[in-house]
Amino acid sequence: MEGDKLNDAHLVARNAQLDAASLAQWLPKSCLIYVTDARYLPLTLTSLLTASQSMPANMEAIIFLDDVPEPLRHEAAAFLGNYGVTAELEPFDINTLFADTARIPLWREGISRTGFARLGLCGAPRGYDTHVILDGDTLVGGDLGELVSVHPSGLAAVSTGHASSFWDYLYQDRSLPVARDYMNAGLMMINAAMWREERISDRCISLVTDRSLDQKLSRPMRDQEILNLVFGKTFHRLNPNWNFQKSRSWQLPSQRPLIAHFTGHISPWDERDRRALPVFRKIYTEVFDKMPKAFIPAIDSLRLNGKNLRNAQRFNPSFGRLNFGYKTAWNPANAPMVEDWLSLLPWNR
């Protein structure tokens, strides 16, 4: 009798569950957006390969390309196609977004202007309810169908938890209250209708080109800081595992990343960087080995050198917290949470 009741309970529970096809029709139509230049294109393609594993049926991928030669664009499309991944690779002219690109503040060598370009491109695609904007230096291990089911009324992102003194200067002389939180823009999800109706792109770009406060600020605002100025008090806070960075691996090493984001100097795409978990390095090694020769110059340009390479090789994973500056690395104790991530790649599924 008890067995019959148990079976009945399982049957009720099973019938109550939505299957994938039923769920998909209720999800908002969405697109996954990357903005990249030629140098970071190999990272972007790697991120998309992992994301494709869990993209819902009504989600499409768009890669906006800044100054990427047409032959390389075709190579990228063919590479994705070889593994059953489709994406719209859309060239854009940054001069159509900024009247004077010289005013884009690139505060460090090697920083790409595409971060600022996405301010004008986040809302560009038409026909989608939700836009997910993702940095190229990410790997996607979570279910993107679960992410887009949030369907924010504005912008959704992960809070970084900075001390307020870090961004107070953004609000000086603007008569704006200091935001209670600060988001990382490596993963953002926006309501497309809101973005267009509120003319968010125009507002962000005007802040980029308005340099009247340069002498009062310690440095020009980054694209992420501009987004915080606009959304700092109103953004929807996502589970931090959707933008899981190395600091979280030390705070909560037993948490499973949903999206791993390699901020700072950690570079798993360079196999010599012992600060990155082995599975992350293996993913990039596998993908780069399969890429056409046309990508070799970009891949080589991403390799570490100088002090950063010495720091990367000095880290000993077995020492963990005993390493000097151990928080510059991903916590080795987090490795079991991602040990199966090689299966994210199309040829390993």
Q: Report which of residues 231 and 174 the model is more confident about.
A: 231
Please state the rounded mean pLDDT for residues 304-325.
Answer: 93
Cα 158 to Cα 139: distance, rounded to the nearest angstrom = 16
User: pTM for the full model?
Assistant: 0.90
Domain-located, residue 61: yes
* 27, 58 contact by CB (below 8 A): yes
Domain-located, residue 210: yes
Those residues whose C-beta lies under 8 Å from the C-beta of residue 193, and which sit 6 or more positions away, are 129
Q: Among 13-22, 72-81, 193-202, 205-214, name the one with the lowest average pLDDT.
A: 13-22
- Could you report the per-residue pLDDT of 206-256, keeping only the tens digit for each? 888 776 666 666 666 788 888 988 887 789 999 999 999 999 999 999 999
Domain of 166 in residue numbering reads as: 27-349
Domain count, the chain: 1
Cα 285 to Cα 281: distance, rounded to the nearest angstrom = 6
Domain-located, residue 99: yes
Cα 229 to Cα 239: distance, rounded to the nearest angstrom = 21
Domain-located, residue 40: yes
Indicate the DSSP class of residue 333. G
Instruction: Tell me the DSSP string of 8-53.
Output: HHHHHHHHHSPPHHHHHHHSPPEEEEEEEETTTHHHHHHHHHHHTT
Q: Among 3-7, 73-77, 140-144, 162-166, name the one with the lowest average pLDDT.
A: 3-7
User: Over 50: is that where the pLDDT of 2 sits?
Assistant: no
Owner of token pair 């926006």 = 190
Q: What is the CATH number of the domain that holds 214?
A: 3.90.550.10
Domain-located, residue 87: yes
Which pLDDT band, with edges at 50, 70 and 90, does 113 fall under?
A: confident
Those residues whose C-beta lies under 8 Å from the C-beta of residue 38, and which sit 6 or more positions away, are 65, 67, 68, 69, 72, 298
Taking the C-alpha atoms of 316, 320, 324 and 329 in order, what is their torsion angle to the nearest 10 degrees? 80
Q: Among 93-97, 182-186, 205-209, name the one with the lowest average pLDDT.
A: 205-209
Domain-located, residue 339: yes
User: Over 90: is that where the pLDDT of 343 sits?
Assistant: yes
Which pLDDT band, with edges at 50, 70 and 90, does 69 fall under?
A: very high
What is the token pair recorded at 346?
């199309």
Q: Report which of residues 22 and 315 the model is more confident about.
A: 315
Which pLDDT band, with edges at 50, 70 and 90, does 110 fall under?
A: low
Domain-located, residue 4: no
Those residues whose C-beta lies under 8 Å from the C-beta of residue 217, and which sit 6 or more positions away, are 169
Please state the rounded mean pLDDT for residues 278-295.
Answer: 98
Contacts from 163-169 at CB under 8 Å and sequence distance 24+? 167/225, 167/228, 167/232, 169/216, 169/217, 169/218
Domain-located, residue 46: yes
Please state the rounded mean pLDDT for residues 124-153.
Answer: 96
Any bridge partners for residue 261, and if so which?
138
* 36, 134 contact by CB (below 8 A): no
**For 135-293, where are the E strands, in sequence order?**
138-140, 155-159, 183-191, 236-237, 259-261
Which pLDDT band, with edges at 50, 70 and 90, does 339 fall under?
A: very high
